[in-house]
Amino acid sequence: MDIQDKAKPKSKENRSIPCGIAMPISATSDCSETHWSDVMAILVDSLESAGFEANLVSNADEVTIIHKTIVKNLCYSPVVVCDVSEKNPNVMFELGMRLAFDKPTIIIKDDCTSFSFDMGVVEHLEYPRDLRFHKIVDFKQRLAEKVLATYEKQQTDPNYSTFLKHFGQFKIAKIDEKEVDSQEFIVEQLNDLKRSLEGLSAPFAPSRRPVSYPSGNEIDICCSGMDNMKIETFKAEMDQDNRIKSVRVVVLNNHVHLYAQCDIDSVAERREMEIKYREISRNLKRRKRASNTIESHH
């Protein structure tokens, strides 16, 4: 079973207390994806035995932006379990966010991962990396007891703090929200759906996310098939555009994407800009293919 399937939300009937999980889900330097799938199964079993509904913080009931889902779940989940084994950068970042919200957090790690200097003062529950049965049975019991005790402590003690209050008085991070009436909310959701459909109906890259992705005013250009020199040239050209504030180079599935942060609020204008740069990208790829064809004939 896929690791994501093991932590999907249950039906709304008989729903337990939500408990978020932040952990590696892809293969790491020393552990396979199957290993993390097994760890997930162990965590789900332990948490469900304590009356909690285990759910990866990246999971959502609705189709939405994954980063938004993660932040919301890190902020609002009654309890979050963070597995810092292998010190996965994404998990460490998510742990930092959760601690900034100062919400109930249980940190776990395998017995082959060393303590991080800054987090050494916070209790960690350990489990054997080889997932030996008898030690895992003990770990599952300790985790269930710890999660339940932490949740109950937070519910009964207004001064409870996982981390921050042990070091002084701090302003706790929070997500600003605004109330909207039902009609305004429905209109906003319909507009989001319309933008998504417009992107999906574009004649190119239909399998990728919608054109003019609204989060952070970014546009996404795939550079698959370009060599490093062409990518650098392309990036330099985008940097010269005064509507673009910055360009990030990201490697996805062994090829490069350029994410450009735009100083444009209009979805239509961002879509027009993305179409323009995707066309430039295609022209660069055509030139490369044409060059390869000429060389092969010689």
Query: The domain spanning residue 288 has which CATH number?
Result: 3.30.70
How many independent structural domains does the chain possess? 2
193 inside domain: no
180 inside domain: no
* Biggest CA pair distance of the chain: 79
**Percent share of the chain, pLDDT over 90:** 26
- For 4-50, write each residue's pLDDT tens digit: 444 444 444 445 799 999 999 888 888 999 999 999 999 999 999 99
What's the whole-model pTM score?
Answer: 0.54
Q: Which of 222, 191, 198, 233 is nearest to 212 (CA)?
A: 198
pLDDT computed for residue 206 by the predictor: 37
- For 151-189, write each residue's pLDDT tens digit: 998 888 877 777 656 555 555 556 555 565 556 656 666
CATH of the domain at 45: 3.40.50.450
The angle formed by the CA atoms of residues 267, 73 and 143, to the nearest 5 degrees, is 160
191 inside domain: no
CA distance 18 to 280: 47
31 inside domain: yes
Q: Torsions phi, psi of 201, nearest 5?
A: -85, 0
138 inside domain: yes
Q: Which residues pair with 107 in a beta bridge?
A: 82, 124
Q: Torsions phi, psi of 49, nearest 5?
A: -65, -25
Expressed in angstroms, the distance from the first to the final Cα of the chain is: 51
Write out the residue range of the structural domain in which residue 76 sits. Answer: 5-166
How many C-beta atoms surround the C-beta of residue 124 within 10 A? 16
Q: What is the mean pLDDT of the chain?
A: 76
Q: Which residues pair with 105 in a beta bridge?
A: 80
- Of the residues 143, 166, 189, which one is the last residue of a structural domain? 166
